[in-house]
């Protein structure tokens, strides 16, 4: 064992000499195969496919699924298997993308639901299989799983496997979902890949550059597939766009921002964010968490100097700092990095912690080169696939852990306790 460890350390050191100033003993795994999840044989043209759920308001859930042929947009549900005392109906839509015609995309909001309760549900026809989900707790503690830039490779499967073991309540995804990149059937594959998890717990997502899918002249609309398939509860937070919204869950106010839509000080998004932050009641939601796609702080050599990082930060950092946002999660860079509390490039005890968690497992591979030397505001950085967990324990304490997919085992590689900001009198606003 010792000899093997030494050998690994030695080969890693050789391979990455100069590029890394950390974890030389870690045997960095290579990229893994891309996946395409086919339709299983037992799924007929009206069977629900690609089932995923998302929170709507304090006590409702949106159930989204796709069928090949038209079926009623109806969900039957209840708290015991096979017994559906409740029923709700919604709407069906579809979209066209060049030669591709999507399936029937069904969208049904159910509730009111009891907190921390398992519900059993059936989508569409009476012969459809039963699914189940658990609603989040009514108050703290709550556990979030967080992973960005998922894509669809065997590393993605490994990440999802670890997330499924984590006993999380709500998943947060800071953009770049399917990596379909205009090839629409790949979105269907993604829906099938995530269904086992996303049908059981709410998946709350925001979009990345891979969701834009604009082709000049041929398909000039943006976010067609993303908006068609991943309807988030923007209407409930007074937003006019599926690209930015917020929601409250168990004492946490979560804000999803759009890095690839207007964010300047005269934009609709900016106006909405300002109003949303003003409405936050820290007694009800002592924690405020924000997700973006392109990180505002980043010491990887990948994605330096992009306007979605520099200009969006210049526009919105004051708002988030002034509102004492606790943590900002980003994706985009395919690596993990945690910063200390920062504001305007400097350590600041009243600023948010910035965390890049773009290491979900997509086919583009890892962003392995970091700037040298490591900036003093960057606390931990490593280019490995994995996911994060944020357990908000109570009004003053939350624990963040980053789990690397190391050798397929669930390993916590970075962990830190966070204190709520205004428990520090110096940060009172």
Q: Are 105 and 229 in contact (CB under 8 A)?
A: yes
**Binding-site string for Fe ion from residue 332 to residue 371, where x marks contact by CB under 5 A and - marks none:** x---------------------------------------
Q: Which one of 67, 209, 300, 405 is in contact with Fe ion (CB under 5 A)?
A: 209
160-219 binders of ligand NAG (CB under 6 A) = none
Cα separation, 81 vs 89, in Å, equals 20
Q: Is 210 a catalytic residue?
A: no
Question: H or E segment at 118?
Answer: strand 118-123
Q: Which one of 60, 219, 282, 369 is in contact with ligand NAG (CB under 6 A)?
A: 282
Does position 324 interact with Fe ion (CB under 5 A)? The reply is: no
Of 188 and 326, the one with the shorter C-beta distance to ligand NAG is 326
Q: Find the residue with minimal CB distance to ligand NAG.
A: 286
Does position 80 interact with ligand NAG (CB under 6 A)? The reply is: no
Contact stretch for ligand NAG (CB under 6 A) within 9-17, 96-104, 233-241, 395-403: 395-403
Q: Which one of 24, 212, 393, 416 is in contact with ligand NAG (CB under 6 A)?
A: 393
Does position 313 interact with Fe ion (CB under 5 A)? The reply is: no
Cα separation, 263 vs 280, in Å, equals 20
Count of residues of this chain found to bind ligand NAG when the rule CB under 6 A is applied = 15
Cα separation, 193 vs 200, in Å, equals 13
Cα separation, 241 vs 261, in Å, equals 10
Give the residue among 91, 89, 111, 93 at the shortest CA–CA distance from 102: 93
Give the residue among 209, 205, 206, 201 at the shortest CA–CA distance from 179: 209
**Separation of CA 2 from chain center:** 39
Question: H or E segment at 108?
Answer: strand 104-110
Of 209 and 224, the one with the shorter C-beta distance to Fe ion is 209
Helices (H), 268-322: 268-279, 307-322
- 396 interface partner picked from Fe ion, ligand NAG, none, CB below 5 to 8 A per type: ligand NAG
> What is the DSSP pairing of strand 252-256 with strand 287-291?
parallel
Contact stretch for Fe ion (CB under 5 A) within 28-36, 119-127, 201-209, 228-236: 201-209
Q: Which one of 395, 410, 411, 416 is in contact with ligand NAG (CB under 6 A)?
A: 395
Cα separation, 160 vs 287, in Å, equals 26
Give the DSSP letter of residue 47.
Answer: S
Q: How near is the Cβ of 171 to ligand NAG at its closest, in Å?
A: 23
Cα separation, 149 vs 335, in Å, equals 10
Quick count: other Cβ atoms within 10 Å of Cβ 193?
A: 21
Q: How near is the Cβ of 59 to ligand NAG at its closest, in Å?
A: 23
- φ/ψ of 352, rounded to 5, equals -75, 155
Of 176 and 276, the one with the shorter C-beta distance to Fe ion is 176
Cα separation, 420 vs 27, in Å, equals 36
Q: Which one of 48, 111, 124, 208 is in contact with Fe ion (CB under 5 A)?
A: 208
**Separation of CA 377 from chain center:** 24
Cα separation, 13 vs 225, in Å, equals 43
Q: How near is the Cβ of 280 to ligand NAG at its closest, in Å?
A: 9
- 94 interface partner picked from Fe ion, ligand NAG, none, CB below 5 to 8 A per type: none
DSSP codes joined into one string, 10-23: HHHHHHHTTT-SS-
Q: How near is the Cβ of 263 to ligand NAG at its closest, in Å?
A: 25
Of 313 and 324, the one with the shorter C-beta distance to ligand NAG is 324
Does position 352 interact with ligand NAG (CB under 6 A)? The reply is: no
Q: Are 299 and 381 in contact (CB under 8 A)?
A: yes
Does position 176 interact with Fe ion (CB under 5 A)? The reply is: yes
Q: Which one of 124, 258, 286, 351 is in contact with ligand NAG (CB under 6 A)?
A: 286
DSSP, collapsed to helix, strand or coil, labels residue 185 as helix
Catalytic residue selected from 303, 334, 387, 403:
303
Q: Which one of 311, 394, 408, 412 is in contact with ligand NAG (CB under 6 A)?
A: 394
294-333 binders of ligand NAG (CB under 6 A) = 324
**Catalytic residue positions, numbered:** 303
Residues that bind ligand NAG (CB under 6 A): 282, 286, 324, 347, 375-376, 393-397, 420-423
Residues near Fe ion, by CB under 5 A: 176, 208-209, 332
């Amino acid at each position: 064992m010792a000899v093997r460890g030494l050998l690994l350390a030695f080969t890693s050191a050789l391979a990455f000499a100069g590029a890394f100033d950390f974890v030389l003993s870690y045997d960095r795994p290579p990229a893994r195969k891309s996946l395409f999840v086919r339709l299983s044989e037992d799924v007929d043209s009206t069977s629900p496919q690609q089932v995923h759920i998302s929170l709507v308001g304090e006590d409702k859930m949106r159930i989204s699924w796709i069928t090949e042929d038209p079926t009623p947009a109806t969900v039957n549900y209840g708290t015991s298997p096979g017994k559906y005392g409740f029923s709700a109906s919604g709407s069906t839509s579809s979209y066209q993308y060049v030669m591709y015609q999507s399936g029937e995309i069904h969208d049904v909001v159910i509730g009111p639901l009891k907190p921390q309760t398992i519900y059993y549900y059936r989508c569409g026809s009476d012969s459809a299989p039963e699914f189940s989900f658990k609603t989040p707790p009514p108050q703290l503690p709550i556990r979030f799983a967080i992973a960005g830039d998922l894509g669809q490779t065997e590393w993605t499967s490994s990440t999802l496997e670890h997330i499924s073991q984590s006993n999380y309540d709500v998943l947060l995804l800071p953009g770049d979902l399917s990596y379909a990149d205009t090839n629409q059937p790949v979105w269907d594959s993604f829906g099938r890949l995530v269904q086992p998890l996303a049908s059981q717990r709410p998946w709350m997502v925001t979009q990345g550059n891979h969701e834009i899918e604009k082709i000049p002249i041929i398909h000039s609309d943006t976010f067609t597939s993303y908006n068609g398939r991943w309807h988030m509860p923007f209407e409930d937070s007074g937003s006019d766009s599926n690209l930015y919204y917020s929601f409250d869950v168990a004492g946490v106010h979560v804000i999803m921002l759009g890095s690839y839509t207007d964010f300047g000080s005269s934009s609709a998004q900016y106006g909405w964010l300002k109003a949303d932050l003003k409405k936050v009641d820290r007694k009800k939601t002592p924690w405020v968490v924000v997700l973006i796609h392109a990180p505002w702080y980043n010491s990887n050599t990948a994605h330096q100097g992009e306007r979605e990082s520099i200009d969006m930060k210049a526009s919105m950092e004051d708002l988030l700092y002034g509102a004492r946002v606790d943590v900002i999660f980003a994706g985009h860079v395919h690596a993990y990095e945690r910063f200390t509390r920062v504001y305007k490039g400097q350590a600041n005890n009243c600023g948010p912690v910035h965390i890049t968690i773009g290491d979900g497992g997509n086919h583009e591979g890892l962003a392995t080169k970091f700037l040298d030397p490591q900036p003093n505001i960057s606390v931990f950085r490593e280019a490995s696939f994995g996911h994060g967990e944020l357990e908000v324990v109570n009004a003053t304490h939350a624990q963040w852990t980053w789990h690397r997919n190391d050798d397929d085992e669930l390993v916590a590689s970075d962990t830190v306790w966070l204190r709520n900001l205004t428990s520090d009198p110096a940060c009172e606003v």
